[in-house]
Amino acid sequence: MNLVSVRNLRVTLPGSAAAVVDGVSFSIAAGQCFGIVGESGAGKTVTARSLIGLNPDGARVAADELTVAGVDARNLTERAWRRLRGAAVGLVGQDALVSLDPLRRVCAEVSEPLEVHEPGLGRADRARRVLQLLEQVAMPEPALRARQYPHELSGGLRQRALIASALAGSPALLIADEPTTALDATVQARIVRLLRELKESGLGLLLISHDLAIIRQLADEVAVMKDGRFVEVQAAARLFAAPQHPYTRGLLAAASLSLAPARPPVGEVVLAARDLAKTYGRAGRELRAVDGVSFELRAGHTVGMVGESGSGKSTVARMLLGTETPDRGDVRLHGEPWSSLPESGRRARRGGIQIIQQDSLSAFDPRASVLQILSEAIGLNGTPRRLRKARAVELLLQVALTDALLGRRAHQLSGGQRQRVAIARALAREPSILVCDEPVSALDVSIQSQVLELLASLQETRGLAMVFISHDLAVVRGLSHDILVMKDGVVVEQGAAAALFRAPQHPFTRELLAAHAASPRGRSSQTVS
Amino acid sequence: MTGHRAGQARRTGRPVARLAARLVAVVLVVWGAATVGFFSLRLIPGDPVNVLIGLGSVSERVRDQIREDWGLADPLVVQYLRYLGRLLQGDLGTSYRMQHPVADVIGQQLAPTVQLMVLAIAFALLLACGSALLGRDTRTASVAGLLELVAVSAPTFWIGLVLIGVFGFGLGWFPVVATVGFGALVLPAVTLSIPVAGIISQVLRQGLDDAEALPFVATVRARGASSTRLLLRHTLRHAAASSVTLTGYLVGSLLGGSVLVETVFARPGLGRVALNAIVDRDVPVVLGIIVLAAVVFSLVNLLVDLVADRLDPRLAAEQAHA
């Protein structure tokens, strides 16, 4: 029997005439996962909330059939809905930091459905059940975690606690609305595994995500939602193998590009390079390091520069920073001359363009503590001495470190921490442009993705423009809006990231892409292709 | 369970230090209030000796003798240091007017005012919660808003007179001029509590609205919790965490309000003592009341901080972190 059957569901929200959900039909059986994928605003969450009667006040829900756990849910009273919520259907929201009541301990949150639906249960029995539930979601040290508050847990553990609380009323169906969106990649994988185990144990799952990779890993059947309608509903294997609808194909194509970032609104041009050239060595034994590189970088955008070592990427970076003078061409910063100025003319504006290098161990004074490293950069802004420490702590928090590191020296930090400190130091000058020269190449893959995520989120929150240089296509791909492919000092191909990855023109670009696809990482990052 | 104890031990290590820091702050506030009070009261024109001798007239020699006896002839700094020295021993000086130790003068009148304030706080919280809950329902929200507005904007003495008129003379529920017994305390306490209740209610309602907009509310409702449960177990606590800080400041204002209320209801109490002392220029008594107010104010705020920490564990974590 189906846990849920929905036929021709229509939902209108107050203040808008158009239906947010417009004629949607699906059903979910026990042990099955039904996935809804689509961009934000497609109506995914409203569809899911309709199954537990939790749409905003004034929402009008109509359906030919809306059966939840054997109950016709079309005209339920609030009291009847409450009997279903938690007991027949559980809800797991996006980020447990905000989806759990921050003022209550984990045990109180997990046991709430028990208090609501099994009022006869004694305090001791409830406590036992809470521990069982936490064990069921593989929470380490459940007795300790139960006593903690959500903010005291890591993102992954918090999400487990949220899942435990959704399971507490023993629902047959779990609605997971973007259950892994706020999590790091590795933690994401663990939560996906947990959800799969729950599904295999017979739980029905309604999975909502904008992330095709998650849907693919869990869903048996997938609906692609756009503007309130299911444009395509297919068994997962078929959908990913042979998408029918153009919108689905577009989604899959975008995803196969290892999730090139969405393009932010067009910002002003903050950095413009025109026909840069640099030659080293004496006449006769010249080395043309860079020849004829031009591009524009806009606020909030990332230009990725990819190529093998020795292709001139770092030389370009130095010319952008103004630490190297181009032989030909020029760099303009915020529309004003930059590379053509003498250093004294550049100094006042130096703070606006900062660099993050590959090897931060050698980029730091080995005798300086993190506090000294940061204070020096902070002081350059004219911040009074007494305020510098507070600002340093603030910067550390922005790069997801804590003030516990203030007293450490560079060699006492892990590679990931060191790179975060390097980012914090760059941010201290409040730059509008970051030049990142192989910023994650010295790091482990899992740490890499964390640092990249940090850079992406900093870009989003601060509208930073970035020049991102790497030999590693996978790394450049995840961040860049525009790409320059460099070989022997020359740009062989240049363009918008999505187009360039979809249809590479130059043989060298194809070679790079092929190598990337053949590498184990390339394959795993192309789960959806 | 051992893990749980270890967790508690970790948490108590720092709060002790924080409590100590807060107690130091209390001492500093009281010292500051005493200092500012001491010097500003010296700026009042007029000779304290006139206050001391009352209406009689005495010769200049006697006046000098009195100055000598009361230490008024010494330089101001010496007087200040002597005052601080006595204050440290708990000696608030001697009233010019009554020739009694200030501590006794205040002590005798402390009880009625404390009773009044405690009851007023209780009423204020009760009224505020009632009005905030009334404001939950969209049908009665505007009523609650109107009540709040009246409560906040009506002058205390007017509220007092209205209450006396209606419940004292009109309905005869409460005595109008009695000074003993619980009945005599009700009208003054209600009078004192109404403006405070209005403000707390406004903040509480805002806090509830803010809390209900938080994402976790969907989770709670998806568990099948009723709106009563959502309110009592979840959002009220969020709202309280934002209102409780305000309550601390309002206690300070209650102290000031008691002057008016005690006058309107002709009750004994600190308010009356303060008023008389100011009129009579009885400097040691005024100063004593200033110091007392500073002590009460900072202790209440200390208490409020501790309660706020209990209500929102994230606050304690932040401060331990800072």
pLDDT tens profile A124-159: 999 999 999 999 888 888 999 999 998 888 888 899
Q: What is the DSSP letter of A85?
A: B
Burial class (CB in 10 A: 0-12, 13-18, 19+), A107: buried
Inter-chain Cβ pairs, chain A and chain B, closer than 8 A: 99
Chain A residues touching residue B309 (CB < 8 angstroms): none
Q: Which SS3 state, helix, strand or coil, does residue A463 take? A: coil
- Domain around B130: 102-321
Q: Which H or E run contains A205?
A: strand A204-209
The answer to whether the CB of A203 falls within 8 A of the CB of A175 is no
Mean pLDDT within A506-514: 80
Residue A435's SS3 state is strand
- For residue B231, the surrounding DSSP H or E stretch is none
Q: What is the pLDDT of residue A511?
A: 78
Query: B33 in a domain, yes or no?
Result: no
Lowest mean pLDDT segment, chosen from A18-32, A145-159, A350-364, B240-254: B240-254
How near does any CA of chain A get to the CA of B215, in Å?
A: 6
* pLDDT tens per residue, range B202-221: 888 888 888 888 889 999 99
Into how many domains does chain B fold?
Answer: 1
Find the chain B residues whose C-beta atoms sit closer than 8 A to any C-beta of A. 1, 3-4, 6-7, 214-216, 218-226, 229, 233-234, 237-238, 241, 311-314, 317, 321
Structure tokens at A27: 């059903």
Residues of B in contact with A401 (CB under 8 A): none
Spatial neighbors of A517 by CB under 8 A, at least 6 apart, are: A523, A526
d(CA B196, CA B8): 36
DSSP state of A337: E
Handedness of CA A96, A99, A103, A105 (dihedral sign): negative
CB contact under 8 A, A403 and B321: yes
- Token pair 């209606």 in the structure block, residue: B166
The whole-number pLDDT of residue A526 equals 35
Report the distance separating Cα A447 and Cα B1, nearest Å: 34
The long-range contacts involving A517-520, CB below 8 angstroms and separated by at least 24 positions, are A519/A474
Task: Look at A333 and A257; give whichever has higher pLDDT.
Answer: A333
Domain contains B189: yes
The helix or strand, by DSSP H or E, that contains position B184, with its residue range, turns out to be: helix B182-212
Residue A31, pLDDT score:
92
Interaxial angle between packed helices B76-88 and B2-42, expressed in degrees from 0 to 180 and rounded to the nearest 10: 150
Cα–Cα distance, A152 to A150 (Å, whole number) = 5
Spatial separation of the C-alpha atoms in residues A40 and A20, rounded to whole Å? 12
CB atoms within 10 A of CB A352: 16
Residue B271 falls inside a structural domain: yes
CB count within 10 Å of CB A16 equals 8
Indicate which of A54, A82, A101 best probes the interface with B, i.e. most B CBs within 10 Å of its own CB: A101
Q: What pLDDT, on a 0 to 100 scale, did the predictor assign at position A230?
A: 93
More confident residue, A78 or A521: A78
Partners of A35 in the β-ladder? A207, A222
CA distance B218 to chain A (A): 8
At residue A196, what is the residue type? R
> Per-residue b/e over B177-195, b at no fewer than 16 CB within 10 Å?
eeeeeeebbbbbbbbbbbb
Instruction: For residue B13, tell me if it sits in a domain.
Output: no
> What's residue A515's pLDDT?
61
Q: Please tell me which of the candidates B7, B238, B317 has its beta carbon nearest to residue A144.
A: B7
Contact B147, B250 (CB under 8 A): no
**Residue of B2, B214, B220, B314 to mutate for A, most A C-beta atoms under 10 A:** B220
Amino acid sitting at position B159 = I
Closest CA to A358 of A479, A511, A475: A475
CATH number, position B214: 1.10.3720.10
Average pLDDT of span A114-125: 90
Model confidence, pTM: 0.61
Domains identified in chain A and CATH numbers? 1-87+172-178+203-254 (3.40.50.300), 89-170 (3.40.50.300), 269-362+432-517 (3.40.50.300)
Q: How far apart are the first and last CA of chain B?
A: 29
> B214: which chain A residues are within 8 Å (Cβ-Cβ)?
98
Residue B2 counted as domain residue:
no
Per the domain annotation, does B239 fall within a domain? yes
Q: Which two tokens stand for residue A452?
A: 């990249």
pLDDT tens-place string over residues B50-104? 777 766 677 778 778 877 777 777 888 888 898 899 888 888 888 877 778 888 8
Evaluate whether residue B281 is within a structural domain.
yes
pLDDT score of B269 more than 50? yes
The arithmetic mean of pLDDT across residues A232-256, rounded, is: 81
CA-nearest of A290, A430, A466, A436 to A359 is: A436
pLDDT tens, A453-496? 888 888 888 889 999 998 777 778 878 889 999 988 899 999 88
Q: Are B140 and B134 within 8 A, CB to CB?
A: yes
CA nearest to A456, candidates A432, A479, A439, A423: A479
Task: Tell me the shortest Cα–Cα distance from A46 to chain B, in angstroms.
Answer: 12
ipTM: 0.71
- Which residue numbers of A have CB closer than 8 Å to B's CBs? 49, 52, 54, 82-87, 89-91, 93-95, 98-104, 112-113, 116-117, 141, 143-144, 147-149, 151-152, 162, 165-166, 168-169, 175, 402-403
Q: Is pLDDT above 50 for A255?
A: yes
Task: Return d(Cα A57, Cα A44) in angstroms, integer.
Answer: 18
Longest Cα–Cα distance in chain B: 86
How far does chain A reach from its first CA to its final CA, in angstroms? 34
CA distance B145 to chain A (A): 22
**B230 vs A contacts (CB less than 8 Å):** none
- Residues A230 and A24: beta-carbon distance below 8 Å: yes
B233:A91 CB<8 A:
no
Whether residue B89 lies inside any domain: the answer is no
What is the tens place of the pLDDT at every residue in A174-217?
999 988 876 765 677 788 889 999 999 999 999 998 778 788 88
Q: Which of A91, A95, A104 sits opposite B222 (nearest CB)?
A: A91
